[in-house]
Structure 1
Amino acid sequence: MTPPPKPPVEHRGLITAMIMLATIMQVLDTTIANVALPSMTGDLDASADTINWVLTSYIVAAAIMTPVTGWLADRIGKRELFLASIVGFTLASMACGMAWSLPSMVGFRLLQGIFGAAIVPLSQTFLLDINPREKAGQAMAVWGAGIMVGPIIGPTLGGWLTESWNWRWVFFINLPLGIVAFLGCVAWLPRAGRVIRRFDFFGFAMLAIALGSLQLMLDRGAEVEWFAALETWIYLFLMLTGFWVFVIHILSTDKPFLEPAMFADRNFATGLVFIFVVGIILLASLALLPPMLSHIFGYPVITTGMVMAPRGIGTMIAMLLAGRLLRLVDARILVTMGLSLTAVSLHMMTGFSPQMDSTPIVLSGVVQGLGLGLVFVPLSTVAFATIEPRFRADATSLFSLVRNIGSSVGISMVTVMLTHNTQINHAELGAHVSAGNPQLWQLSPEAAQGAALPLSVIDRVVTQQAAMIAYVDDFRLMMLITLAALPLGLLLRRPQASASAAVAAD
């Protein structure tokens, strides 16, 4: 039986614009501060190791608070929670911009993560609520564009603000965005009913311990040499114990923190696995490309942003097309096409070399953007097409949480491999370098004239080649992960209600 159509929502376009403005503001902060860390080090009297807590504190706080979004939305109202999140995030951003020491910055970043955690899942919930089923694909295209393009432009915008003004403007820029988004949401965002639901404190505590330990392990692992340090083993123990107790608890209690029934929906469960893979590919690639373009190709920050910009354009084009194609084409076909294009782009990236120009980087970026866009929209639509509306706030928060965990896992994985493989490649390449090799004469004008080639020049070239091989190995690994995810598309099913509504609308 086809569900009755939703009553029309007034000012839907303005509501969407204001919701997405708040979403982009929050998503930008996941990457915009990265390039400003070196500038913060001196002003905040921090070391190169401790300054990373500026990133870690935000990630951990957001991870812990994201799952509680559904309960808070039911308890105080989705509209009220969204407005409070915008205000809190904006004020915390201003406080970050005025931070006077590392402890104060870490504290304000914790507040940013706490208030910002609900913005992304609630924005997805609102867009699903205010749009009829036949327009869900287009709504998810708009939402996905903000989610995926935000991290792409974040490093470029952060670099420009840091170079042109000051690192504090990386946070101050959120003030006008937050004010406009808040006023627009106050004026047009519809009210929703409240549901009194008991808060499962024990379940939340176990999940918070597990998520916090996981994020700390992923973020701190490289600094403490992973399992060579007791700290990492403690995080691993707390993570495994927390997740195990949490799963047992929600399966055995009457009113758990997260309803296990939502995982019985095959589309939603498969969507969580898919979005985990998308998280790995999206931000892992973003974490690799800027340092590669800077250290190996010598591109400045602005040039790096321009070279990576076409990737974002490809993503937006694919999302806009996918939102309309969903009414005509099976979502499984679009997901398969998207993953295939993503795998092709990563294969193209395995052919990178220090001698090439920017053309292969731009082309592979466009193809990857098209692929990720074709995956994200149908996945976001189908994952929530058959789940019960009462689970929607919890489900969207889990969707965002799993995507963020995938991003953290992906970044840690490729970073560890990059460091490890660079060292191995340097040793292997260095073992075959001989002062009598005539090919070395091409590296220096002095050597070509018969002078001895400086060891520093040899080491620089070997290091560059070793790093390039390590980057290529990372791209190959992500290609294999993408190909391994392709069979998951067979588990998705096209919801009959959605299809019927689309036909009726046509």
Structure 2
Amino acid sequence: MADAIQDDTPPIDPENVPNRPIIMACLMLATIMQVLDTTIANVALPDMRADLGASLDTINWVLTSYIVAAAIVTPMSGWLSNRFGRREVFMVSVIGFVLFSMLCGIAWSLDTMVLFRLLQGVFGAAIVPLAQNFMLDINPRERHGQAMAVFAAGIMLGPIIGPTLGGYLTESFNWRWVFYINVPLGIIALAGCMTFLPKTPKSKVNFDFIGFAALAIGIGALQLMLDRGSDLDWFSATEIWIELALAISGFWVFLVWIMGVEKPFIDPKMFLDRNLSMGLLFIFVIGIVLLASLALLPPMLSSIFSYPTVTTGLMMSPRGVGAMIMAILIGRLVKFIDLRLLVMLGLGMTAYSLYIMSTFSPLMGPRLLIVSGVIQGFGLGAVFVPISTLAFATLDPKYRGDGTALFSLVRNIGSSIGISIVTALLTHNMAVNHSEIVSSINPQNLQSLLGSGSGMSSEQSSYVLNNLATQQASMIAYLDDFKFMMWITLASIPLVWFLRKPDYQSQGSGKEAEEGPILE
């Protein structure tokens, strides 16, 4: 949009940004703080339910309110930063997020908790896209790959360590500390940003209320449908049909509106940039694989392998270690290797890790869990960094605010859709597998299955075998889910070649290639 500049603030000069390492550290601290909250509260729900007097159904609104609010507000971050200044919006977002995190910690009822979580999601929605926007703005284009390596490490680390940290805080202190932990992190991030974060120009941007309202209805209804579908048995419930109709209607009105209005809420011309469009597709796949696998593993390790909460967290940590190592390594390689090859490598490693996971057995030790976790971390790190770089490599900087907002939104929607799909498949396959296994058991082979010397009555034998059948049916269903995600990952590999190689990779000078790590 061609808008008049409101002030004389010059654009950020990426070649002349003082205290760049400190700025990046503060941005990443705020990012990790926000991303942690997508998973850290999950493990504390049982304790919350007891303290707040909630039922099994209503306690889920603690998660739903945050997810829906964040999803609706995220697309606004581009408009808000243009209208009021990116620095100002970022700091207000951090202040609001920290304030409502503290209020969540002192919530005295379910109603107040849901309200505070909703407002926490409203203020936290802009943190990640604005942090990514700043990371791109304060670094020269040829160093965007290194900047995105730092950004990717934080984005992937948060959801992975969230359940572990949440479980530790809940067991060692109480559930309120999963929210209090945000306070010191936010204060440090805020102090650094207030001191060092550069200002950006403000523009007179008209707010397209109809476009935003249509998109908000579509996103909100979709997120509600995905979040509540498994609890309501999906399309057997009237609520899900209503939410589906609202989602389709909202997105349809939004698309028709932005194609015809002069200054739409999101300019459709930005999607003509092939790298942005393909980058959104790939980050959607990453969202499915990353959080869907994270949603499946803890209940599998708990119910089938009988791991306690702390051990389950430790078994998840290799993904975070692998992702961080690969992100740092990729940050050093982006100047020398075609980013598209790195994406293919990452997708291949991710698919291979899912193949390993599809061979899990209830009798195995922790070795395969660790190996598959490290490989998956390597793979996701090798995909996220190049995709985060390629998506904005050819995009006009005037679209960067909306682009980073959509990048964050699509990743979160991919996560929600992925979790909903694998959960629905898991439930369906468990029922089918259990029925098939039990159907092969009859009075004639009942004692032979348990051994003739078991000394159990027919009722006891049936109970034991039913438990074993349930465990086996669950394990097979988990393996089918991992295989399903493997095929999704493999199917996305040919699309890599629709991405365009950044010009600086072929034109960058030797000096640029030798500049070294971004934080050094």
TM-score w.r.t. the length of structure 2 is 0.94
Matched with 2:512 is 505
Amino acid in the other structure paired with 2:455: G
Report the alpha carbon displacement of residue 45 of structure 1 after superposing the two structures with TM.
1.0
CA spacing shift, 1:219–1:203, aligned 2, 3 Å: same
Residue among 493, 498, 502 paired with 1:495:
502
Q: Residues 451 and 228 (structure 1 numbering): CA distance in 2 closer, same or farther, change over 3 Å?
A: closer
Q: How does 1:222-301 map to 2 (within 5 A)?
A: 222-301=230-309
2:167 to 159, 163, 166: 159
Cα deviation, residue 437, structure 1: 4.7
CA distance in 2 between counterparts of 1:389 and 1:457 reads 64
Counterpart for residue 456 of structure 2: 451
RMSD of the alignment, in Å?
1.4
Distance 1:304 1:6 in 2: 43
Q: Shift in Å at residue 171 of structure 1?
A: 0.3
Which of 470, 489, 503 is the aligned partner of 2:477? 470
For each residue in 1:196-224, what CA deviation from the matched residue of structure 2 results, as whole angstroms up to 9, or x when unmatched?
Answer: 10000000000000000000000111111
Whole-Å separation in 2 of the counterparts to 1:229 and 1:505: 58
What corresponds to 1:220 in structure 2? 228
- 1:55-91: CA deviations, max 9, x gaps? 0000000000000000000011000001000000000
Retained in 2: the 8 A contact 1:133–1:501?
no
- What does residue 379 of structure 2 align with? 371
> Partners in 2 of 1:280 and 1:502 — Cα distance?
37
> Is residue 146 from structure 1 mapped to residue 154 from structure 2 by the alignment?
yes
Pair 1:324-2:332 in alignment: yes
Q: Describe the shift of the 1:123–1:336 C-alpha distance in structure 2 as closer, same or farther (beyond 3 A).
A: same
The residue type equivalent to 1:430 in the other structure is V
Name which of structure 1's ranges 477-486 and 5-14 shifts more when overlaid on structure 2.
5-14
- Pairs within 5 Å for 1:345-494: 345-435=353-443, 436-437=445-446, 440-441=449-450, 448-452=453-457, 453-494=460-501
> Distance between the aligned counterparts of 2:273 and 2:197, measured in 1?
29
Superposed, 1:107-122 pairs within 5 Å as 107-122=115-130
The alpha carbon displacement at 1:167 in A equals 0.3
Q: Which amino acid aligns with 1:232?
A: I
The offset of 1:324, in angstroms, is: 1.5
Q: String of CA shifts for 1:253-283, please: whole Å, max 9, x gaps.
A: 0000001111000000000000000000000
Shift of 1:5: 8.1
Q: CA deviation at 1:366?
A: 0.7
What's the secondary structure of 2:501's corresponding residue? coil
Residues of 2 paired with 1:7 and 1:222: CA distance? 50
Identity fraction in percent = 60
**1:56 matches 2:64:** yes
Q: TM-score, structure 1 length as denominator?
A: 0.97
Counterpart of 2:471, as a letter, is Q
Distance in 1, matches of 2:27 and 2:64, equals 26
Residue deviations 1:131-178 (CA, integer Å, cap 9, x gap): 112211111000000001110000000001011110000001111111
Structure 1 unaligned regions, length at least 5:
none
Q: 1:173-188 alignment to 2 at 5 Å?
A: 173-188=181-196
Aligned length in residues: 499
CA distance in 1, matches of 2:124, 2:448: 55
Question: Offset of 1:493 from its aligned partner?
Answer: 1.0
The one-letter amino acid of 1:499's match is S
Structure 2: how far apart are the matches of 1:387 and 1:486?
Answer: 22
User: Is the contact made by 1:133 and 1:498 (CA closer than 8 Å) also made in structure 2?
Assistant: no
Structure 1 letter corresponding to 2:138: I
Matches within 5 A, 1:332-347: 332-347=340-355
3-state SS of paired residue (2:508): helix
Shift of 1:498: 4.8
The answer as to 2:92 corresponding to 1:87 is no
Change (3 A) 1:317 1:188: same
Which residue matches 2:134?
126
Tell me the distance in 2 between the aligned counterparts of 1:501 and 1:434.
72
Q: Deviations over 1:312-366 (max 9, x none)?
A: 1111111111111111110110000100111111111110110111111111111
Amino acid of the structure 2 residue aligned with 1:478: M
Which amino acid in the other structure matches residue 458 of structure 1?
A: L
What is the distance in 2 between the residues matched to 1:502 and 1:26?
37
- For residues 287 and 111 of structure 2, the distance between their equivalents in structure 1, rounded to whole angstroms, comes to 30
Q: Would the aligned equivalents of 1:133 and 1:502 in 2 still touch at CA under 8 Å?
A: no
Task: Kindly state the Cα deviation for residue 499 of structure 1 after the two structures are TM-superposed.
Answer: 3.5
Q: Which runs of 5 or more residues in structure 2 are unaligned?
A: 1-11, 514-520
Distance 2:456 2:402 in 1: 69
Report the alpha carbon displacement of residue 182 of structure 1 after superposing the two structures with TM: 0.6
User: Matched residue of 1:454: which SS?
Assistant: helix
| Paired letter, 2:314 | M
Question: Could you tell me whether the CA contact under 8 Å between 1:86 and 1:182 is conserved in 2?
Answer: yes
